[in-house]
């Protein structure tokens, strides 16, 4: 069955709209989940390739978390992908970042290659189209996006994890 593109686009826009509404409260929301978020961040930092110089974060929220990971890794090139206009505006408040206001599934591979690519906090679960969710950065682009010896970190939550 071919997905109804218009329905999928409306679902995607509804998610973006919800993040626009959440933007003023996002730091407070993150603070409530801090132990979980910090634990995941430590794993990303511990398993990142030695000498990493670039990081692409997909679904960056306000960019604070990606900036923190980049600082811990001493990464010089930080690119944040955030489709929500309100969240992207918050990302721009982070020092030394480049913000792409787009979605994961619309990445083309022209963004460059990165030593570390993160897609954290169940961002893949927010992609409305199942085909795109299975491969948010199509394989032909992923090969270009992940630098040789680079790393891709993805976090997928389950409902049981969220209830803890």
Chain segment 46-104, per-residue pLDDT in tens: 989 899 999 999 899 999 999 999 999 999 999 999 999 999 999 999 999 999 998 87
Model pTM above 0.85: no
Question: Residue 117's closest CA among 37, 60, 36?
Answer: 60
Residue ranges making up the domain that contains 19: 5-163
Domain containing residue 13: CATH number: 3.40.50.150
Q: Could you give the number of structural domains in the chain?
A: 1
Q: Which residues pair with 77 in a beta bridge?
A: 54
Task: Using DSSP bridges, classify how beta strands 77-81 and 146-154 pair: parallel, antiparallel or unpaired.
Answer: unpaired
Alpha-carbon gap, residue 68 to 70, rounded angstroms = 5
Chain segment 105-119, per-residue pLDDT in tens: 788 777 888 888 888
Q: Which residues pair with 55 in a beta bridge?
A: 78, 116
Q: Residue 44 burial by CB count (10 A; 0-12/13-18/19+): exposed, middle or buried? A: buried
């Amino acid at each position: 069955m071919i997905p109804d593109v218009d329905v999928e686009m409306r679902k995607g826009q509804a998610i973006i709209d919800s993040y626009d509404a959440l933007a003023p409260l996002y730091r407070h929301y993150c603070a409530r989940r801090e132990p979980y978020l910090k634990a995941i961040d430590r794993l990303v930092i511990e398993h990142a390739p030695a000498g990493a110089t670039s990081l692409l974060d997909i679904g960056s929220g306000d960019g604070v978390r990606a900036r923190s990971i980049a600082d811990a890794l001493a990464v010089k090139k930080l690119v944040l992908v955030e489709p929500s206009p309100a969240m992207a505006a918050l990302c721009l408040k982070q020092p030394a970042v480049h913000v792409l206001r787009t979605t994961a599934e619309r990445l083309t591979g022209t963004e460059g290659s990165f030593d570390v690519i993160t897609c954290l906090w169940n961002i893949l679960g927010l992609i409305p189209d199942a085909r795109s969710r299975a491969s948010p950065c199509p394989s032909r682009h992923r090969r270009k996006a992940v630098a040789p010896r680079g790393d891709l970190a993805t976090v997928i939550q389950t409902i049981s994890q969220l209830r803890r």
